[in-house]
Structure 1
Amino acid sequence: MRSQRSSPEMLPQEPTQAAPVAEPHTQEPGSDNRACGLSVCTKVCYGIGGVPSQVASSASAFYLQIFLLDVAQVPAAQVSLALFGGKVSGAVADPVAGFFINKSRRTRAGRLMPWALGCMPLIALAYFFLWFLPPFTSLRGLWYTTFYCLFQALATFFQVPYTALTMMLTPSPRERDSVTAYRMTMEMAGTLMGATVHGLIVSSAHGSRRCEDPGLSGSTAVSPDVARLYCIAAAVVALTYPVCGSFLCLGVKERSDTSAPASGPGLSFFTGLAITSRHPPYLNLVVSFLFISAAVQVEQSYLVLFCTHASRLQDHVQNLVLTILISAVLSTPLWEWALQRFGKRTSAFGICVMVPFSVLLAAVPSAPVAYVVAFVSGVSIAVSLLLPWSMLPDVVDDFQLQHQHGPGVETIFYSSYVFFTKLSGAGALGISTLSLEFAGYEAGACQQAEEVVVTLKVLIGAVPTCMILIGLCILMVGPTPKIPSQDTSSQQSLRRRTSYSLA
């Protein structure tokens, strides 16, 4: 699945803002030659470099919340603050990373490569301590908030130069498309590997045997074995950073910047944001997918908690997570065909396929229903992550037909979209986790109060349903971007692929 179409966090993450480098000279599609070609080894090594971020994102997306609540036994209000702060730090780090990378000087290793490689060991440390259980209890909320914010910010500082590195490997648009395909394939493998490996290691920590005694309803002491399992899982995931970073360092060489002079004055991020945010088709796209992407993140984040405390599906968690991911990955080619065959707005109705099934799972939390819901949810999540990145180029083309600005407008469209969707995810997860606190969620308890069970059912069913329906209504009634002529569209698409790595 294309990494730029995913969201935060379950499938390959959407790349954050690429470093705002000067736009390179675009070549005609037929001008590729062997001198611009990259070896298969280089492409594979570049793709391997992005695997750790997807492994870590997939594992944390499904298991971080239940770890903080039931293993670390952090109060729900503090977990809400940690999740909100981490997401916001990742969003804020996006333009900050682009600014500092743009100001940095080129070294022997290049200008982007030192940033990507330098962040990897720091991300590994932050990720490991994010799952480490400190000996003290009073300041655990501050501990996990700090390391989650560090992890999200550092991950952004890695993703910005890593995705921008595509345009610095070769001047050939065809080769860049090939490199991007290798990266997507590796990131899909990383997403599946993260959920699988982490889930298999910690599966016994949340099984039905953990609370075999029916009298255990209050908070229980954290077993050292459970804490050790999470540390082992964190160490395994953290180890992928130096291993994959070695492939990136040894197998990929950043080319010198052969950019042609810009055709006009560039725009600063905030100036460009003020201009692009007044474009009606872009506003419609952003607002609609603020609701849809937030719904996907809520559905994903509360699946494990719902299976553990609102149903008797603890022993099926690992299989349900894999069902969602595999279904999403396998259905992506089908949705790509549907977008071309039926149109993007028609295909958007595929997002609401999961709505009745999510409500059904909340009402009838049985294993057969859960597997059907997981499969259908994966199909719907795939199109929800694919669609905005398919519609954004149309919005950019429509904007460029109506306005004449210098280089950098495409980057502002993409980066601001990522920025806003990260903020929406932060708000949705923060508020929803806070609702558990109000419902009386007891950290580490084997049995939760009925109010908590009802809240989890609402969060897994009603909340995503309402947000998806609101987002689809906004998308359908909003203005449609004008489709440029074939020649103009081809030229703009080529320029966008050459100047920005999210092609």
Structure 2
Amino acid sequence: MGGPPGPAPAAEAPAPQPEAHTVEPSSVSAKRGREDSRADRLSFCTKVCYGIGGVPNQVASSATAFYLQLFLLDVAQIPAAQVSLVLVGGKVSGAAADPVAGFFINRSRRTGSGRLMPWVLGCVPFIALAYFFLWFLPPFSSLRGLWYTAFYCLFQALATFLQVPYTALTMLLTPSARERDSATAYRMTMEMAGTLMGATVHGLIVSGAHRPHRCEEATFPRLEAVSADAIRLYSIAAAVVAVTYPVCSTLLCLGVKERPDPSDPDSGQGLSFLAGLGLTARHPPYLKLVVSFLFISAAVQVEQSYLVLFCTHASRLHDHVQGLVLTILVSAVLSTPLWECILQRFGKRTSAFGICVMVPFAILLAAVPTAPVAYVVAFVSGVSTAVSLLLPWSMLPDLVDDFQRQHQLGPGLETIFYSSYVFFTKLAGAGALGISTLSLEFAGYKAGGCQQVEEVVVTLKVLIGAVPTCMILTGLCILMVGPKVPSQDTSCQLSLQRRTSYSLA
């Protein structure tokens, strides 16, 4: 009688185990999921330090966008044809450096400070020197065009090697799509503040070099007529901007910790750059995003580059140049957080319509170049510029996640996507600025001249009004038709899959 009861417990003992086995992983997974969710959140300090890291490039880019052409034409007194070569050469150099930077960064191994951070820190001293010499007036006059071409190309290439890993760092801050969007908003806000600081500081320092009575002192200005005070002021402004590179990069390194993707192996080797570039080039949503913002970013660059020249030579707004530049940048900085809320509430594709707000006002400025109209146009342009800069960088992480979800490839995708996007946008900007500057040469622009002929005035009006309008409308039409760009929901799903697979593993 003692034998039969023995097997019964043995048969019943395993029965509860499957139930316990099914319940326990679920609870553990939920617990780990909550822990991962908390770990995915970025602190306020981390977001601010990450945003500060992008300030130097925007400070320098703002100063060059608004004042480099004026410096080359009226201070260095280089012919407009050579200025066109300087601008095109620099932009093409920066564009060519993008795939090169992506290739080497993609093949780099992870170090103690991460895989991307060493590239950012390594470029800092060299880019600061290149930027300073870009605004330095050499003692010789015959080869000044070559001097500025060389240093502008060097500056653009080094800025690319800094910007590509910095922007790609967004993907390695956290797997949470919402937190990445938040970090991008912080970055764009800080970069807008850097743009404001660059135009303000540089403009205030060099304002004494472009006093209205300068033309009265020399009816026929020659190269020797350039004052030593103007040269000194531009050198001081260049030194002030150059100092921001080591300061902000140090804060970035101290406040941000690069966290690799759970699928990222320690070796740092994943999909090869060339193979990844071929795959991304056949990804329809990415192609649509790139092509549309080729036109939109080129339009913004053209409007920024010719605003100062337009106010100086095509209207009586010379005394309002600094105020107009500040109005554009202040409105852009203040509207960036608002646009981030709109992106989250109404979607990124719908928010793109905010870019076209500047179209009628740009035409209005060319037609009625008065001070009240100019300030209204400047304010609206700043609001539109903010969304045109925020939108692509907010869409790119979602594209990377969508591409990864479809192809299930290894690490390195972020550098491929970011570097190729910047490559094409810089190439478009180079073409737009080069052609538009050559148009000034054909119109008869005189370097250092106090008054320009009527053909130059008309050309500047076209460049400030019609050209950006056509580019913006073309870019928006491309963005709104065809395959839909992946939304944040898709990105969130992939991030959840990554955290789940990692925790279960």
Tell me, yes or no, whether TM beats 0.5.
Answer: yes
Matches of 2:491 and 2:58 in 1, distance apart?
32
* Equivalent residue number for residue 462 of structure 2: 458
- Please tell me whether residue 132 in structure 1 is matched to residue 136 in structure 2: yes
* Equivalent residue number for residue 70 of structure 2: 66
Matches of 1:314 and 1:328 in 2, distance apart?
22
Corresponding residue SS for 2:355: helix
Contact between 2:184 and 2:394, CA under 8 Å: does it hold in 1? no
Q: Deviations over 1:301-335 (max 9, x none)?
A: 10011111111111111111110011112122332
- Please tell me whether residue 216 in structure 1 is matched to residue 219 in structure 2: yes
Corresponding residue SS for 1:212: helix
Corresponding residue SS for 2:333: helix
After superposition, residues 416-431 of structure 1 pair within 5 angstroms as 416-431=420-435
CA RMSD of aligned residues (A): 3.5
* Equivalent residue number for residue 5 of structure 2: none
Seen in structure 2, the aligned counterparts of structure 1 residues 393 and 107 have a Cα distance that, compared at 3 Å, is: closer
Q: Deviations over 1:434-479 (max 9, x none)?
A: 1111111111111111111111111001111111122222223333
Seen in structure 2, the aligned counterparts of structure 1 residues 316 and 496 have a Cα distance that, compared at 3 Å, is: farther
Contact between 1:218 and 1:442, CA under 8 Å: does it hold in 2? no
Seen in structure 2, the aligned counterparts of structure 1 residues 228 and 331 have a Cα distance that, compared at 3 Å, is: same
Matches of 1:114 and 1:28 in 2, distance apart?
32
- Please tell me whether residue 490 in structure 1 is matched to residue 504 in structure 2: no
Q: Deviations over 1:378-421 (max 9, x none)?
A: 11112222233344455556555655544444543333222211
Seen in structure 2, the aligned counterparts of structure 1 residues 359 and 29 have a Cα distance that, compared at 3 Å, is: farther
| Bigger mean CA offset, 125-134 vs 322-331 | 322-331
Q: Structure 1: any 5+ residue segments left out of the alignment?
A: 1-26, 498-503
Contact between 1:173 and 1:494, CA under 8 Å: does it hold in 2? no
Deviation at 1:113, TM superposition (A): 4.0
* Equivalent residue number for residue 335 of structure 2: 331
1:242 maps to which of 246, 257, 277: 246
* Equivalent residue number for residue 386 of structure 2: 382
| Bigger mean CA offset, 178-187 vs 224-233 | 178-187
Seen in structure 2, the aligned counterparts of structure 1 residues 339 and 138 have a Cα distance that, compared at 3 Å, is: same
* Equivalent residue number for residue 13 of structure 2: none
Deviation at 1:298, TM superposition (A): 0.3
Deviation at 1:195, TM superposition (A): 1.2
Contact between 1:165 and 1:254, CA under 8 Å: does it hold in 2? no
2:234 maps to which of 221, 230, 252: 230
Deviation at 1:125, TM superposition (A): 0.8
Seen in structure 2, the aligned counterparts of structure 1 residues 40 and 281 have a Cα distance that, compared at 3 Å, is: closer
| Bigger mean CA offset, 110-119 vs 462-471 | 110-119
| Bigger mean CA offset, 261-270 vs 225-234 | 261-270
* Equivalent residue number for residue 303 of structure 1: 307
Deviation at 1:161, TM superposition (A): 3.5
Contact between 2:94 and 2:426, CA under 8 Å: does it hold in 1? yes
TM-score, L = length of structure 1: 0.82
Q: Deviations over 1:212-262 (max 9, x none)?
A: 36x82665621111111101111111122233344455x358669685456
Matches of 1:343 and 1:45 in 2, distance apart?
27
Corresponding residue SS for 1:208: coil
Contact between 1:410 and 1:496, CA under 8 Å: does it hold in 2? no
Q: Deviations over 1:343-383 (max 9, x none)?
A: 44443222222111111111111111110110011111122
Corresponding residue SS for 2:465: helix
Contact between 2:164 and 2:415, CA under 8 Å: does it hold in 1? no
Deviation at 1:297, TM superposition (A): 0.6
* Equivalent residue number for residue 90 of structure 1: 94
Matches of 2:406 and 2:416 in 1, distance apart?
16
When you count helix as a share of all residues, which structure comes out higher? Answer: 2
Matches of 2:177 and 2:402 in 1, distance apart?
22
Contact between 2:47 and 2:183, CA under 8 Å: does it hold in 1? yes
Q: Structure 2: any 5+ residue segments left out of the alignment?
A: 1-30, 500-505
Deviation at 1:44, TM superposition (A): 5.3
Bigger radius of gyration among the two: 2
* Equivalent residue number for residue 418 of structure 2: 414
- In the alignment, residue 419 of structure 1 is paired with which amino acid? F
Deviation at 1:292, TM superposition (A): 1.2
Seen in structure 2, the aligned counterparts of structure 1 residues 149 and 29 have a Cα distance that, compared at 3 Å, is: farther
Contact between 1:266 and 1:407, CA under 8 Å: does it hold in 2? yes
Corresponding residue SS for 2:483: coil
- In the alignment, residue 237 of structure 1 is paired with which amino acid? V
Over the matched positions of the two proteins, sequence identity in percent amounts to 80
* Equivalent residue number for residue 4 of structure 1: none
- In the alignment, residue 494 of structure 2 is paired with which amino acid? Q
Contact between 1:207 and 1:314, CA under 8 Å: does it hold in 2? no
- In the alignment, residue 141 of structure 1 is paired with which amino acid? G
Seen in structure 2, the aligned counterparts of structure 1 residues 145 and 289 have a Cα distance that, compared at 3 Å, is: same
Contact between 1:216 and 1:447, CA under 8 Å: does it hold in 2? no
- In the alignment, residue 216 of structure 1 is paired with which amino acid? T
- Please tell me whether residue 100 in structure 1 is matched to residue 104 in structure 2: yes
- In the alignment, residue 290 of structure 1 is paired with which amino acid? L
| Bigger mean CA offset, 183-192 vs 464-473 | 183-192
Matches of 1:123 and 1:210 in 2, distance apart?
33
Deviation at 1:84, TM superposition (A): 1.2
Contact between 1:276 and 1:413, CA under 8 Å: does it hold in 2? yes
* Equivalent residue number for residue 20 of structure 1: none
* Equivalent residue number for residue 479 of structure 2: 475
| Bigger mean CA offset, 400-409 vs 199-208 | 400-409
* Equivalent residue number for residue 118 of structure 1: 122
After superposition, residues 76-87 of structure 1 pair within 5 angstroms as 76-87=80-91
- Please tell me whether residue 289 in structure 1 is matched to residue 262 in structure 2: no
* Equivalent residue number for residue 143 of structure 1: 147
- Please tell me whether residue 318 in structure 1 is matched to residue 322 in structure 2: yes
